Structure 1
């Protein structure tokens, strides 16, 4: 290091040079190098190939709620390590690590606010928190979000992203599938819309329960959606799967979801849907 660099770095009010990792983002699909600021301003979508990257809870809320205003709902209190599970690391240590990484208590966070003037409750599953895996806390959060929507007499919009059930909680994780399904029945009895937005990836027990029970099923472009992995299916049926199998566009063509919506158009589309489904068509 030259004496000029030493002097420059020693001056507290001069900003240090940003690293290449901070300045540039490499697209996972086309491998183009994009300015990080441009990538974020484009809603974390590659401006070259339109690849929709995974985003966190706060980023999702900022894209959705009017005037960037929302009220985060408290996470339900659950027993954190019911099976005292340990593999190469204690389950409690994995939870602490995920919380430090994401700033969230668990993989699903609820908030209430307005989308295009309509009152809604929104739940967002964060793949960055232990792969968005469904454990007791996630199941409790889905139920809490649904009941908050019933109390508010508002639709519940759920953004799913998960690798499936959380193995560290064993059978208790799988029990969240019927638990959330029963809570959805309460939502339907109240006559309120339940809209699901499937993001990359939505797989396993989440797909086999609340992710596929929406009144309207939306997906982001290119999202991986399925129950078992493609390789497992190929080994089971001993056939080669078609191109794009389990991607949002393939599922749309085969009637499994209702629409694929670009992230830029998602807020407007959700606002219109909520307006129609709640009878407020003039606002929609």
Structure 2
């Protein structure tokens, strides 16, 4: 027997920050809203944890949770991957939609989840977000959408790309009716999601240092044959260029959203000329 006794550490008890390599007690990290206490890095959140942070206790009502993805093109291994992700994350798809209160103000809310196939946009993700927009319009509610995605879902081919147009169309109609759409970009927001609804908000917010862009940095660099800034696709760079309205710390996000909603009371849903 070894002179040093082995200490059994429960899986998931500790979390390593990918930015500063700080080892954090997972319970304390969750109490700190998954923000590293050493370097303030915003670690990625599940959709359920995000809803718990943003929506008032006991007010969230999920919608269309029963919609499930079908392997339309019979893509090899896709059914198994979907099953694995459902079991691992206890959700049916890469977005949760519903309604709830933010400090007493009722909103329609959608939250994408990067833990489910990297938040990739397939037909069900597109359908659920489109239905959320239509629900917001029908109920005359402001809409908040937390975006995170690696882009379109390759297993669904052209159908995944069609979601960009579908959601963009519903958003255009929603805005014509005076609807207020707040887009919140989180790490990462890339590909077809960033090229469509993520950047179509009336107000676009981002968490600090979030990766935001369409094509990968290396792809751009190899295409234009020029050296690119190190922070090219980070939230702070986009903010300087006017593509983002505000960078908001996660701990301040709920209060910031409430302030926007409170200020705009009685303004949204006035038809725009």
Question: Is TM > 0.5 for Structure 1 vs Structure 2?
Answer: yes
- After superposition, the C-alpha distances for 1:194-218 in whole angstroms (9 at most, x for unaligned) are 0100000000000111011000000
Task: Tell me, in whole angstroms, the C-alpha distance in 2 between the residues paired with 1:165 and 1:192.
Answer: 26
Higher-Rg member (1/2): 1
2:205–2:245 CA contact under 8 A, matched in 1: yes
Task: Tell me, in whole angstroms, the C-alpha distance in 1 between the residues paired with 2:211 and 2:58.
Answer: 28
> Structure 2: which 5+ runs fail to align?
268-273
> Structure 1: which 5+ runs fail to align?
6-16
- After superposition, the C-alpha distances for 1:32-88 in whole angstroms (9 at most, x for unaligned) are 1122121111000001000000010110011001135311112364661111111xx
In structure 1, the residue corresponding to 2:171 is in which secondary structure? helix
Task: Tell me, in whole angstroms, the C-alpha distance in 2 between the residues paired with 1:203 and 1:71.
Answer: 28
- After superposition, the C-alpha distances for 1:8-46 in whole angstroms (9 at most, x for unaligned) are xxxxxxxxx861544322111100112212111100000
1:116 to 103, 117, 142: 103
Pairwise mapping of residues 64-213 of structure 1 onto structure 2 (< 5 A)?
64-75=54-65, 77=67, 80-86=70-76, 90-213=77-200
1:220–1:248 CA contact under 8 A, matched in 2: yes
Residue 224 of structure 1 pairs with residue 214 of structure 2: no
2:68–2:93 CA contact under 8 A, matched in 1: no
1:238 is displaced (CA, Å) by 0.9
Partner of residue 26, structure 1? 16
For this pair of structures, how many residues does the alignment match? 264
Residue 238 of structure 1 pairs with residue 228 of structure 2: no
1:269 is displaced (CA, Å) by 0.4
1:258 is displaced (CA, Å) by 0.4
- After superposition, the C-alpha distances for 1:113-149 in whole angstroms (9 at most, x for unaligned) are 1002111011001011111000100100111111121
Q: Which moved more, 1:197-206 or 1:75-84?
A: 75-84
Partner of residue 32, structure 2? 42
In structure 1, the residue corresponding to 2:212 is in which secondary structure? coil
In structure 2, the residue corresponding to 1:148 is in which secondary structure? helix
2:144–2:181 CA contact under 8 A, matched in 1: yes
TM-score using structure 1 length: 0.89
